[in-house]
Structure 1
Amino acid sequence: MTTNVWVEQEWHDYKLKWNPEDYGGVETLHVPSEHIWLPDIVLYNNADGNYEVTIMTKAILNHTGKVTWKPPAIYKSFCEIDVEYFPFDEQTCFMKFGSWTYDGYLVDLRHMAQTPGSDTIDMGIDLQDYYLSVEWDIMRVPAVRNEKFYSCCEEPYPDIIFNITLRRKTLFYTVNLIIPCVGISFLSVLVFYLPSDSGEKVSLCISILLSLTVFFLLLAEIIPPTSLTVPLLGKYLLFTMVLVTLSVVVTIAVLNVNFRSPVTHKMAPWVYRLFIKTLPKVLFIERPQQDDEAEAVVTASTPASENTCLDDSKFEFQKQRYSPAEYDIAGGLRYEGVPFEAAGLPPLPSPLMLPASPNEDDVCRDDLSPSIEGCLAHEIEKAITDARFIAQHVKNKDKFENVEEDWKYVAMVLDRLFLWIFSVACVMGTALIILQAPSLYDTTRPIDIQYSKIAKKKLMLMMMGPEEE
């Protein structure tokens, strides 16, 4: 901690007394401090530079023997930093002053504002000429006088310890670190709102992970290196990085489910019940209904005027050759008891609607020739076989597409499920980590604003500015 101070010191030197009447009424003198005796008051917990005052200003001598010396000094003291709640942290640094060579019997070190019977001073540092810091607020500056006995000596060695409690100003870190980190962490939730077919889910997760890595490097440069504790912001970044890493793993698993097919995977019954029947209702997901027109059965009708010259007895051999489940003149061609039109195919012509021969009178005879009967049977058999193949192909294709759509729907349900899970985890994790800082609940007003004349003057100018305009 670097501190710019004026070290106010007063002591009595019996050798520097005089009678003002003997010297023309002179009561005070300004003399170079190098020419008089000075107490060797040094900073015990000095971290760098000189332990004592280096700028030798003049001292003020009073005829009573009182000597006043106020040299300016720049101290760099050691201060143990606790970064557990960074950037919402409070630090307490101390400055220990004492004589380096004189014991308590020779130099009785006391605070100028110390009252008899008390070794504690609530306001140990004068803050009237203090310039406000842009990074820290001063909360308390008490001073305590101590007397310490060392093993080498019987004499006490007094010292004065100034405890300076500082609270970090969080605006800079909130705007430049916390808000961007929170925004980036919530982007990881939107990964599950991105459709799986877009192909950008994993890319978005990796981009978010790289952004958090950059913020982690910035944090490592700002805070002092320590292995005693993890800072609050570091905990939040670690939590967010774990969350994004899990989102990458979950996204890959969801993509694997989305692109499954009946060729590679078979959907288990519990998966169907859980992710298609149960969870969509809980997650407020409504699956679009299939088009009823595509499933409607179209029944082909044959006009009676075209069937007058032929009756069912003429094609009794067809019924005997094909089972009722395969061929039905009255109901048309069927496959497994379902008309071919149900498979989305155009109605096939029935045997009664086959083209007539050039001589219609021959066709309408009571007795058909065996050659014509054999020709008709062959054509009908071939038509039925082809229709069966087409119907089975369409049916298999529909089943294949339905299973694929079921897997895609399961992936969509998983996305929505993890969207809610990660949203709750992100909100609760952010609140639980950030709200741990005690300084967020401390409403104590900094004392530097209350006691600093410079701060008060600046505040008055700011208040008078708009009125003057």
Structure 2
Amino acid sequence: MTKALLKYTGEVEWTPPAIYKSSCKIDVLYFPFDQQSCNMRFGSWTYNGFQVDLKHMNQKPGSNIVPVGINLSEFYLSVEWDIIRVPAIRNEEYYPCCKEPFSDIVFNLTMRRKTLFYTVNLIIPCVGITFLTVLVYYLPADSGEKVSLCSSILVSLTVFFLLLAEIIPPTSLAVPLLGKYILFTMIIVSLSICVTVGVLNIHFRGPSTHTMGPCMRKIFLHIMPKILFMRRPPYNPGDILYREDTDGDGYIDGDYSIDSCGDIKDGSKDCLNYDCSNFKSGLHDDEHRGRASVADADNVIPRQLTPEILSAFEGVRFIAQHIKDADKDNEIVEDWKYVSMVLDRFFLCVFTAACVLGTCGIIFQAPSLYDNTAPIDIQMTRITQYGISSPPTVAPRL
């Protein structure tokens, strides 16, 4: 049994003693920064507008809109939603069956999701894992852990994606904002795995399997390092040599005379201390007598050295040539390693920009981030965690 207050003007004030439940279509496009709007329509299908003219109690003359159409004085605050607007709108509809208008009142309930829980437990960890992808290109290739790091990040994102699938409502109408971001991150990590495999392939190349072309050498060894602010130390193994002397440690300049060892023309190659020093002194004596010079050193060697010493010098020449070839091969290997470092630096910049722009471009699409409307449920409710407080100054009712 319900009570209706009848006035002499013909107005009837009716407060329905019931709890109304209704379903509402949820748009998860901007989840977890979403804002939902639900409508509840009240009207009479039996009596037309001339017989029953529905109006809101707080409706002002000349206006069909009531800004606060629902009484929130006894509303319990939600831990997940903020109520932003609760307007009531009176409508008059004409149907093909009848000439009379039918009046109804539509109550709108606009709610905004509280994002603290999702920000702390989903968004911040996901953003942190995303930017771990950038560190893959800062990790040295010799460590052997670049691909392992990428795989670990991909597995972590898969776990986050499964967790997200359990939280959001199951719908195929739209992809949620957080789902887009996790998919974007998974694509970035998958691409980083492919790029890392290519960089490692370049890092471990050698002269026996690959040859670096002049165009590639110019781009990756001269042009790109300048653009990426990279500076390569000069590679010259003959700058400083270590030689064991009477003191136990000594360094000599690699530009000593080529006369002392015949055809050994690379100052970075050491020779036998005893024989070479004796031969050097003999050559210097000949030079003082004007009988030998640098040009005819090869002609002097056969006339002054025994076959055993010549055989030793042939061995020294072979060792020197072997070391020289090894230095050339090592220089090529170092060039390939430097190319991989340049690529790592380049993709470090590219993926950093992609992560920053992708994160900002996806997260900041949500319109609720730019809505500074204060929730009205906190202002109008009298129910707090300690009970019922003093009534508000304005308590509109239905």
Scaled by the length of structure 2, the TM-score of the pair is 0.79
Q: Aligned partners of 1:407 and 1:245: how far apart in 2?
A: 24
Q: 1:247 aligns with which of 182, 188, 192?
A: 192
Whether 1:333 aligns to 2:277 is no
1:79 maps to 2:79? no
One of 285, 310, 319 as aligned partner of 2:230: 285
Structure 1: give runs of 5+ residues left out of the alignment.
Answer: 1-32, 34-57, 301-327, 355-372, 462-469
Q: Check whether the contact 1:449–1:455 (CA below 8 A) recurs between aligned residues.
A: no
Q: 1:439 aligns with which of 368, 377, 380?
A: 368
Report deviation, 1:457: 7.5
Q: 1:349 aligns with which of 269, 275, 285?
A: 275
Q: Note the alpha carbon deviations across 1:176-229, whole angstroms, 9 max, x for none.
A: 111011101000001111111111111111111121122222222222233333
| Residue aligning to 2:324 | 395
Q: Structure 1 residue 102: deviation in Å?
A: 3.2
1:102 aligns with 47
Q: Residue 354 of structure 2 corresponds to which residue in structure 1?
A: 425
2:86 alignment partner, one of 133, 136, 141: 141
Letter in 1 for 2:265: V
1:207 aligns with 2:152: yes
Asked if 2 retains the 8 angstrom alpha-carbon contact of 1:450 and 1:456, the reply is no
Whether the aligned pair in 1 keeps the contact of 2:82 and 2:111 (CA below 8 Å) is yes
Deviation at 1:161, TM superposition (A): 0.6
Q: Say which SS state the counterpart of residue 349 (structure 1) adopts.
A: helix
Q: 1:382 aligns with which of 302, 305, 311?
A: 311
Secondary structure of the 1:342 match is coil
Which of 52, 59, 66 is 2:3 aligned to? Answer: 59
2:364 is equivalent to residue 448 of structure 1: no
Distance 1:436 1:346, change over 3 A: farther
> Which residue does 1:45 correspond to in 2?
none
Sort the Cα spacing of 1:396 and 1:113 in 2 relative to 1 into closer, same or farther, 3 A.
same
Match of 1:267 in 2: 212
Q: Partners of 2:279 and 2:214 in 1: how far apart?
A: 47
Cα contact 1:351–1:380 (8 A) shared by 2:
no
- Name the SS for the 2:333 alignment partner: helix
Shift in Å at residue 454 of structure 1?
A: 2.1
CA–CA distance in structure 1, aligned partners of residues 105 and 330 of structure 2 = 85
Question: Counterparts of 2:177 and 2:331 in 1: how far apart (Å)?
Answer: 50
Aligned-pair CA distance for 1:170: 0.9
Provide the C-alpha distance between the structure 2 equivalents of 1:237 and 1:209, rounded to a whole number of angstroms.
10
Percent of residue pairs identical: 58
- Aligned partners of 2:260 and 2:279 also within 8 Å: no
Question: Superposed, which structure 2 residues align to 1:285-324 within 5 Å?
Answer: 285-290=230-235, 292-294=239-241, 296-297=253-254, 299=256
* C-alpha distance after superposition, 1:108-132 (max 9, x if no partner): 3222222333322111111111111
SS in 2 for 1:78: coil
Paired position in structure 2 for 1:116: 61
Contact 2:382/2:389, CA 8 A, preserved across alignment: no
Measure the CA separation in 2 of the matches of 1:278 and 1:261. 22
On the 8 A contact 2:75/2:377 being kept in 1, the answer is: yes
Of residues 118, 122, 127, the one that matches 1:173 is: 118
CA displacement at 1:289 relative to structure 2:
4.5
Match of 1:411 in 2: 340
**Partner SS, residue 248 of structure 1:** helix
Comparing both chains, which one has the higher relative contact order based on Cα–Cα distances under 8 Å and sequence gaps of 6 or more? 2
Per the TM alignment, residue 350 of structure 1 is displaced from its structure 2 partner at its CA by 5.7
Letter in 2 for 1:151: P
Q: How does 1:147-186 map to 2 (within 5 A)?
A: 147-186=92-131
Q: Deviation at 1:288?
A: 3.8
Matching residue's letter, 1:349 = D
**Distance of 1:63 and 1:182 partners within structure 2:** 62
When Rg is computed on C-alpha atoms for both structures, the one with the higher figure is: 1
Write out per-residue CA displacement over residues 394-444 of structure 1, whole angstroms, 9 at most, x where no aligned residue: 111111122112211211121122112211221122122222222222222
Corresponding residue for residue 52 of structure 1: none
Aligned CA distance change for structure 1 residues 444 and 333 (closer, same or farther; 3 Å): same
Report if the CA contact (8 A) 1:449-1:456 is conserved: no
AA partner of residue 440 (structure 1):
L
1:89 and 1:439 in contact (8 A); partners too = yes
1:297 is aligned with what amino acid? G
1:59–1:67 CA contact under 8 A, matched in 2? no
Relative to structure 1, is the Cα distance of residues 129 and 352 closer, same or farther in structure 2, using a 3 angstrom cutoff? closer
Match of 1:218 among 144, 163, 167: 163
Amino acid at match of 2:363: I
The normalised TM-score by structure 1 is 0.68
Tell whether the 8 Å contact from 1:188 to 1:205 is kept in structure 2 after alignment. yes
**Does structure 1 conserve the Cα–Cα contact (< 8 Å) formed by 2:4 and 2:15?**
no
Structure 2 CA distance for aligned equivalents of residues 117 and 415 of structure 1: 70
Asked whether the 8 Å contact 2:87–2:108 carries over to 1, the reply is: yes
Change (3 A) 1:348 1:459: farther
Distance 1:208 1:72, change over 3 A: farther
Change (3 A) 1:253 1:459: farther
Letter in 2 for 1:342: S
The alignment of Structure 1 onto Structure 2 pairs a total of residues equal to 356
Report if the CA contact (8 A) 2:382-2:388 is conserved: no
Q: For 2:120, what is the secondary structure of its paired residue?
A: helix
Q: Distance in 2 between matches of 1:168 and 1:180?
A: 20
Q: In the superposition, relative to structure 1, how do residues 69 and 137 fare at CA in structure 2: closer, same or farther (>3 Å)?
A: same
- 211 and 458 in structure 1: CA distance in 2 versus 1, 3 angstrom threshold: farther
Tell me how far apart the structure 2 counterparts of residues 197 and 149 of structure 1 sit (CA, whole Å): 78
